[in-house]
Structure 1
Amino acid sequence: MGVKTFGFDDFEKALNNMINKFPESAKNKLGQIADEVIADTKLNTPVRTGILRRSFIREGAKQEGNVYKVKCGSNILYAPFVEEGHKTGSGGFVKGRHMFKNALTKAEKKMPEKLKGLLDEITRV
């Protein structure tokens, strides 16, 4: 005479499925968010030649331990000066455009909604 459980095997299977889906789904979601950051950054980048605007890219999202990361940015030498501002030769100062910082701030505000979407995605049977 033993105790019978009903539905536990199904619950365990569903839980394992969610655990297995999470890493790839999290990287995909992070990549989508990074794409939005890059698009918003490009939209707000001042243009003279278009080189800076075209230079913004992101790398693939990856997992390092319990942390998911994605690198975004530009390899153009003068990008930080446009972002943060700089002194001029005559002693003046050109204000930074903060196009990347503003795009990140906007993305951070949307994170709870985006992460809810991730949860919905991995709990879908």
Structure 2
Amino acid sequence: MGLEVHGVAELSAALRRLSSVRFDAVCEKNIAQVYERGKSEGGTPVDTGDLKKSLAMVPAGEDSEAGYSMEYAPHVEYGHRTRGGGYVQGQRFLDANVRKQRRIFKKDLVAQIERFG
């Protein structure tokens, strides 16, 4: 289960035209913040701690990624059925983290465009 940044196409295209190095730096910074928020207290649900330990980040410019490698991560995020026929609600921990970061990402893109545009 990972994170991909979509949207803000016009802003990212404008910054990419100005400098792909700056765009890559903004992407890496924001993915690093998603990662750090996930590692912080309350950023990832903890039962055994394995889910939190599985959070990893790959800094690769605009292709940077942060995500969980535990096979059950999507079930904790989105919810799942139980053997008895019940349903466990998803905790939407990654979604909440991404929603917080979205505003910061847009602000960082605008700041870079204004600074170097």
User: Could you tell me the TM-score, scaled by structure 2's length?
Assistant: 0.72
Q: Provide structure 1 residue ranges, at least 5 long, that are not aligned to the other structure.
A: 1-17, 63-67
| Alignment equivalent of 1:86, drawn from 71, 80, 86 | 80
CA shift in 2, pair 1:20/1:44, >3 Å: closer
What's 1:36 paired with?
33
Structure 1 partner of 2:58: 59
Q: Describe the SS at the equivalent of 1:89.
A: coil
Identity over aligned residues, as a percent?
25
Distance in 2, matches of 1:99 and 1:76, equals: 14
Shift in Å, 1:34 = 0.5
Letter in 2 for 1:111: F
Indicate yes or no: 2:75 matched with 1:74. no
Displacement of 1:117 in angstroms is 2.9
Alignment: residue pair count: 101
Name the TM-score, length of structure 1 as normaliser: 0.68
Query: Whole-Å Cα distance in 1 between the matches of residues 47 and 16 of structure 2?
Result: 48
For residue 98 of structure 1, the aligned residue among 92, 98, 103 is 92
- For residues 97 and 118 of structure 1, do their structure 2 counterparts lie closer, same or farther at Cα, with a shift above 3 Å needed? same
More displaced stretch, 21-30 vs 92-101 = 21-30
Q: Which runs of 5+ in 2 are unaligned?
A: 1-14
Q: 1:96 is matched by which residue type in structure 2? A: G
Q: What RMSD, in angstroms, separates the aligned Cα atoms of the two structures?
A: 2.4
Residue 19 of structure 1, CA deviation: 8.2
Structure with larger RCO (C-alpha < 8 A, sep 6+): 2
